[in-house]
């Protein structure tokens, strides 16, 4: 009788432990993702540091792939949006992979816009309005349509006109 109870306990643990470990791994991945997809400079800096040194994060199986700004220019009018687009791709791809995309899309889009505005802040006051205009256009494209493919050449031309004023 004691052996039978012990066997049932061992089999129950064998079934429960891997499930708990898998759930913990998903929770841990979600926690790391949440830390790296906030609309703050600290969050972006943490993500970028991990991007540059991926070894400690290999067990999480993050998807680091990117197409940068999709069909839109990665660096429109010379503004460096490529890294912001990569960060955005990272958030979308990894939240989709763990089945938590709908609950996190708005925050990832807000993070993207904050990243773009931080890029714009590094440019001179003369061209900054054009950069902010493009940042808003890129944000609106992903926020409303889920893709930068919605950015049109006319949007870029409008921002370019701001630089000539």
> How far apart are the C-alpha atoms of 118 and 125, rounded to whole Å?
13
Q: Is 87 a catalytic residue?
A: no
HEC sequence for 77-136 = HHCCCHHHHHHHHHHHHHHHHCCCHHHHHHHHHHHHHHHHHHHHCCCCCCCHHHHHHHHH
Angle between the 41-52 and 82-97 helix axes, to the nearest 10 degrees?
80
* Catalytic residue selected from 86, 88, 104, 135: 88
> How far apart are the C-alpha atoms of 71 and 148, rounded to whole Å?
7
Structure token digits, residue 160: 């370019």
CB 130 within 8 A of CB 163: yes
Active-site residue numbers?
88
């Amino acid at each position: 009788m004691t052996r039978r109870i012990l066997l049932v306990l061992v089999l129950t643990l064998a079934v429960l432990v891997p499930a708990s470990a898998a759930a913990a791994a998903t929770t841990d991945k979600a926690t790391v993702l949440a830390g790296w997809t906030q609309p703050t400079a600290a969050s972006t800096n943490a993500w970028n540091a991990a991007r540059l040194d991926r070894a400690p994060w290999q067990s999480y199986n993050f998807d680091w792939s990117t197409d940068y700004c999709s069909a839109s220019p990665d660096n429109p009018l010379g503004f460096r949006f490529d890294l912001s687009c990569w960060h955005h791709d990272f958030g979308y791809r990894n939240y989709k992979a763990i089945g938590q995309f709908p609950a996190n899309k708005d925050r990832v889009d807000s993070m993207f816009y904050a990243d773009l505005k931080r890029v714009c802040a590094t440019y001179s006051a003369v061209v900054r309005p054009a950069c902010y205009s493009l940042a808003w256009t890129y944000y609106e494209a992903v926020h409303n349509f889920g893709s930068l493919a919605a950015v049109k050449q006319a949007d870029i031309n409008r921002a370019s006109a701001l630089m000539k004023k």
